[in-house]
Structure 1
Amino acid sequence: MDTLLESDLDKFPRHQKIEKLLSVQLGIPSLKAGKIIIRDHRDWRINEKQIEYCWLINVSRAFAGWCWLFTINFKETKFRDIANPAESIQGIFTVDDNGAIAEFYKLTRDASFRDDVKGLTAYDLFSASPRITLDGVGYEFIIFGHNSEVRMTLDNPDTENWKIWEKAVWELGGELAKRSGSKQLEEIFN
């Protein structure tokens, strides 16, 4: 987990490891937007899907713990005689001290799903908050879109636009934590 002294350069390898852990857990080669080729144990191509976008958010709450939330949005595609529907996978997970996924829950939503976190596009990137973080909540927000990858770290995001974003994150996190049945995850969002 983050320490107060961790630099942004130290976070990047950790983010890469988290991305790889999640990809393996979901049986896909990467989280990057675009066409992904799914292979079996013999390295034979068994399916192709297309990721429209993906985001990951690390929620770290003092004295309660931390977890990752994610959404991966797949476009409708066809590979040979496999019809891949348009769908979104949302989930929540933690990573244990050995670097493995510990708690994991995912939910598949159909094409009518509205992603509230993606739908928020008005961020004031230079004004999360000028004050000291007293509530002990921090975020790492990673976004994968076509030809873009954005990484942000936020502490105490209490400006108007960031509070709207934070509310959407907490609503989703609370829903997924409750559905997961994990007391550890539920405690983070209480």
Structure 2
Amino acid sequence: MRIDAALGDITELDVDVVVNAANSALLGGGGVDGAIHAAAGPKLLEACREVRATRYPDGLPVGEAVATDAFDLRARWVVHTVGPNWHAGERDPAMLAACFLTSMEVAVDLGARSIAFPAISAGAYGWDVDEVARIAVGSLRAWKVGTAQDRGPDGTPNGITYARFELFNARALDAFQRALAA
């Protein structure tokens, strides 16, 4: 699996899956969540309401992930995950790692080959972007070792072959590039 980082708008990427740094309500919000909902159009909100009504009536828990169609995005699916909120005392790195790992699992179950992540929890949720980068890159590298080397019956690799961190500012990009270089 190839992993890279770039500065840009996650809503414009042509990948199988974009990951949404959602809130537990799944009904849109600010930052990446608001941008994804705005770009995907009103059907994304309808799909998220359906997920809430049928699977997560109390909201999506921190570290879990769920998929919807991507509607008006170039991507095929949106995988929504809820990062831990540093300001609310959710400071366990394993909670943040779970966001990346469960998103990868959901994406593979969908049949995705490419995925793009934002810097989950590095915005309004207050995690230090350097820490987010270290945990995110470490999680994807652990995934790569654990699953990307598996082969299907025809000899082709199973799962994600390309992962990208699409970042909102130069500081975040620098943090992720340092983590990828380590």
State the TM-score, normalized to the length of structure 2: 0.26
TM-score by length of 1: 0.25
Instruction: Please identify which structure carries the higher strand content.
Output: 1
The structure, 1 or 2, with the larger RCO (C-alpha pairs under 8 Å, 6+ apart) is 2
